[in-house]
Structure 1
Amino acid sequence: MAHEPLEQLSALAYAKGHATGNDFVMLADPEGQLDLSAEQVAALSDRHFGLGADGVIRAVPTSKLPEYAYQVQSDQDAYWFMDYRNADGSIAEMCGNGVRLFVHFLVQEKLVDLPVGSSLRIGSRAGVKEVTRLPEGYAVNLGPWGLIHAEQAASSALDSTVQLAFWDQARPALSITMGNPHTVVALAENAELEELNLNEQPEVFPSPDNGTNVEFVVPADPLVLDGIGQVSMRVYERGVGETLSCGTGACAAAAAVRFWARSTLIVDDWVVNIPGGQVSVSFRKNEEGTEDVILAGPAQLISRGVITRQ
């Protein structure tokens, strides 16, 4: 039955929180003893028989994970590792909203001391990331963005197609990596964005081996207001379905629209509107000559509890 995996997690303490509506079950595992199965993650995330979430995030010392211990060995500040799983139990490389909530969880659990204006480095499957505490949220440097199919994208600005069940034909798209894969489709107007039916997984060709998140974006008119680019977005997350927000997806959406507009303008600061609220995305040159992407927005814990089966 759907609830059976939860029996094995009886008496486990948890917190529940969200970042612009992208919600997660948060688990503290300071001894590195919690070995979650995909079935347990799916059971926790189930919105009918479990706690309900877009995913599960475990806070575990980086040194407790043999395959990622090198991160803390080379960067002693990366003590904590964000072990993130999608709602279906599958492993994901990174989650821009999740990482903000992860650091907020560490702060609220008193596992770290992070005054406003201070930064914390954490381990993740997408490498070590730096998160800064802001007066009203957190900003994470997600590192460089990139084109998944760079040669084709450079020649035509498009490199893939996306098909929804109710579309007559597939739409052209651009593939962006933020440490995890994204496929971005531009729509003409907000009415089309609002009417999208994202109950079924979009078909993407070519699709990355481990699947892709799909973002549907509408550039604002005018695109730039007071020096800041503006876009609206909805997203279908692999392993989850449609979510109210996707942090790395917001970054990919801004990167794609910025790439498409490169011949007429390049704006480094963007606002991305999603169903769950609003986040900011900034592009900054790094020492390697590429561009880091900084995602900023709120994060909030809403409840705590202990799993029980009675």
Structure 2
Amino acid sequence: MARSIAFTKGHGTGNDFVIVPDADGTLDLSDDQVAALCDRRFGVGGDGILRVVRSSAIAEGDATPDAEWFMDYRNADGSAAEMCGNGIRVYAKYLVEAGLADIDAAPLRIGTRAGTKTLTRSEPGLGATPGFEVDLGLFAIDESDIVVRARNLDVPRPGVSIDLGNPHVVVALGADAELDALDLTVRPQLHPEPRHGANIEFVVPGDPLVRDGVGAIRMRVFERGVGETLSCGTGVAASALAVRHWAGAAAPDVWTVEVPGGTLGVRVVEERDGSHVLLSGPATLVYSGEVALA
């Protein structure tokens, strides 16, 4: 007889997840079971799974002892991922709504494979969108030559690599029409191909690029292990960082990024250990239920 498990469906700007509570770490989901749960025709449907597990129940290699909860994020194909900027806000929303954390008493720390991330509530304001804001931490920009080919893109374009604990390649396009014409049902090709793959973002600057000290861009993304999604939180941050890098010293530290699923905010702030990038945006829990494991 098939085992049934509890789940909650949630999303952040259309980037959707199957949230599976497993506080004591007793649930061992295979790649095939994750893929079945994320299947939009035969399962619950989602871009990935968020397993809600205590850090103390995580294998030593991924353990984050400075956080009570660990976000075990798996892509829709079952593969493990280091981080998910939309997912961690949805994860925080679940913890708060379930009474497992009190983000109003103190910033909420959540463990990930990219280290511990800190979240607070966010209110509308300069570069912020309402919901939750996560400090994604330090970032690295690699200007090594990488060429991106995509269907309906007339010629290959150069990309810049951004490391946010997970890998990204960001490509600049010149017009909205180019962005809208992309066919991302097929994975873009990267040359050279990064060893562990990458999320691939295509961005178009706003017109004007900066207004009242806030930069604005549009973005579409092909997520590693998933395909095109309506949003990608770390991809949004990577896109803003790439355009900020290209724009030079006068570029703002505050950005809004429009994705097919909505709008997210990005801020760059200086901390003792260097520049951190912060991502803000909504998180929604849609419904809960039980589902039989494949």
- Partners of 1:171 and 1:114 lie apart in 2 by 42
1:160 to 141, 146, 151: 146
TM-score, structure 2 normalization = 0.94
Question: Residue in 2 aligned with 1:293?
Answer: 277
- Partners of 1:87 and 1:11 lie apart in 2 by 19
- Partners of 1:285 and 1:113 lie apart in 2 by 26
Structure 2: gaps spanning 5 or more residues: 124-129
Residue-pair matches, total = 287
Residue pair 2:62, 2:112 contacting (<8 A) in 1 also: no
1:20 to 5, 13, 19: 13
Does 2:64 match 1:71?
yes
Specify whether residues 44 and 28 from structure 1 end up closer, same or farther in structure 2 by C-alpha distance, changes over 3 A only: same
- Partners of 1:283 and 1:47 lie apart in 2 by 36
- Partners of 1:38 and 1:109 lie apart in 2 by 27
- What displacement does 1:165 show? 3.2
Where does 1:1-310 land on structure 2 (aligned, <5 Å)? 8=2, 10-68=3-61, 70-72=63-65, 75=66, 78-115=67-104, 118-134=106-122, 136-147=130-141, 149=142, 153=143, 159-263=145-249, 265-288=250-273, 290-308=274-292
- Partners of 1:279 and 1:69 lie apart in 2 by 28
- What displacement does 1:31 show? 1.2
- Partners of 2:153 and 2:239 lie apart in 1 by 21
- What displacement does 1:69 show? 6.4
Residue pair 1:118, 1:133 contacting (<8 A) in 2 also: no
Partner of 1:89, secondary structure, is coil
Residue pair 2:63, 2:111 contacting (<8 A) in 1 also: no
Residue pair 1:63, 1:69 contacting (<8 A) in 2 also: no
Partner of 2:92, secondary structure, is helix
Partner of 1:254, secondary structure, is helix
Residue pair 2:151, 2:182 contacting (<8 A) in 1 also: no
Residue type matched to 1:21 in 2?
G
- Partners of 2:145 and 2:97 lie apart in 1 by 43
Residue type matched to 1:206 in 2?
P
Structure 1: gaps spanning 5 or more residues: 1-6
- Partners of 2:240 and 2:57 lie apart in 1 by 35
The structure that is strand-richer by fraction is 2
- What displacement does 1:294 show? 0.4
CA displacement 1:276-296 (0-9 Å, x = unmatched): 0000000011102x2100000
Partner of 1:25, secondary structure, is strand
- Partners of 2:280 and 2:179 lie apart in 1 by 24
Of stretches 60-69 and 81-90 in structure 1, the one that deviates more from structure 2 is 60-69
Partner of 1:128, secondary structure, is strand
Residue type matched to 2:163 in 1?
T
What percent of counterpart residues are identical? 51
TM-score, structure 1 normalization = 0.89
Residue pair 2:153, 2:182 contacting (<8 A) in 1 also: no
Residue pair 1:227, 1:269 contacting (<8 A) in 2 also: yes
Partner of 2:78, secondary structure, is coil
Residue type matched to 1:139 in 2?
E
